Amino acid sequence: MAYDGTATKQVAGDANVRALPDGSWTLFVATGDDPEAKSRRASGIMHSPDRGKTWTPLTPFAIGRGRDGERAGFGPVELIATRGHVSHFWATHAAKWPESWRMWFAGGGRALPSGDTPAPLPGRLGQRTFVRNAITARDGRLMMPFQHYLASDTALMEPRCGVIVSADGGKTWAEHGNIRVGPVHRRFDWEESNVVELDGGRIVMLIRASGLMAMTYRAESTDGGKTWPAAATLLRASALGTASLYSLGGNAVAMIHNPAGRLALWVSLDGMQCWPYQRILTKTTSVGPKEYMSYPHGFVSEDKAWLHFAFVDKMQRAVHYSVKLPGLK
């Protein structure tokens, strides 16, 4: 599909496109005249009844709760939609960052937004935590990677990564893993993590450690995400940028990422050991997206033929993009 941009007000963070149980799509973004982690940050949402061909105007995304004090600075993070429920996750930054940083969710409802009472993530993850792209494991569990910081003060310190897992459709979540990406007692900035499932109950996590020259680390669980190593391993040639991973069945994986100012699709057939298919989707040009393309989030069609995702263009607008996947046979 050709470039298809959707203009918004300033986009202050992620853009996520998801398919809802009724077959429609939704795209939600963080908006506002503030950058990330500021109190005036808000959220907007658009809907598409025809699978991305047309979109409704951007409207505020309400969650049925006040947005003052510690509840200010609302920004969407993730939405999980299955046939039985819709769960959504968001962060509130309030006026003090990172001391007032909170992560919330509401799950189990059948509509968006859900009428369920918002709750913080369990245990320590209710503070100084960010979650990323969720997956549905092959046994039906929901799984979502997190990045958590043990200390804040004036900077984010001692990052840890892992997953939260739900076996009841998103109503409750349990934490697994306490992975570090390097020596502790140092600042590492933004440890963005994504996960994908391979054959044999293997879950692989890639972590972009922006404070370590944007290097990429890998950690693997061999028991379905229950246990993880204490530390991740640095990948060779690991300037992958912000990556999102998508299972194509078996050990086949698609990855959308943004190396060197470009947006690229890579496909692996051997559990992410090699990437024989590499395709540049957008380049730095005077037409279309340019200079700063970040945080691609989306989903694979049920027939594994298309990858539909959204990304943020220069922190100004959300862009929906659909790309044809290569045949795997």
Per-residue model confidence (pLDDT) at position 305: 92
Query: Which has the closest alpha carbon to 291: 309, 323, 316?
Result: 316
Residue 311 lies in a domain: yes
Distance CA 239, CA 75 (A): 28
Burial class (CB in 10 A: 0-12, 13-18, 19+), 66: exposed
Residue 291 lies in a domain: no
Distance CA 288, CA 262 (A): 12
Domain range for 57 is 1-120+301-329
Residue 127 lies in a domain: no
Burial 85-98 (b: 16+ CB within 10 A, else e): bbbbbbbbbbeebb
Total of domains in the chain? 1
Give 30-67 pLDDT, tens digit per residue: 766 555 545 556 677 888 999 888 888 878 776 655 45
Q: What is the DSSP letter of 327?
A: P
Distances (CA, A) of 13 to 21, 43, 186: 25, 10, 25
Lowest model confidence (mean pLDDT) among 140-144, 184-188, 202-206, 309-313: 184-188
191 C-beta neighbours (distance < 10 Å), count: 27
Q: What is the mean pLDDT of residues 71-81?
A: 71
Give 213-262 pLDDT, tens digit per residue: 567 889 999 999 999 999 998 886 556 667 899 999 999 999 998 776 67
Is 193:206 a contact under the CB 8 Å cutoff?
yes
Residue 323 lies in a domain: yes
Give 267-295 pLDDT, tens digit per residue: 999 999 999 999 988 764 444 555 566 77
Distances (CA, A) of 267 to 156, 241, 274, 296, 302: 33, 16, 9, 15, 17
Residue 163 lies in a domain: no
Structure tokens at 239: 């300037």
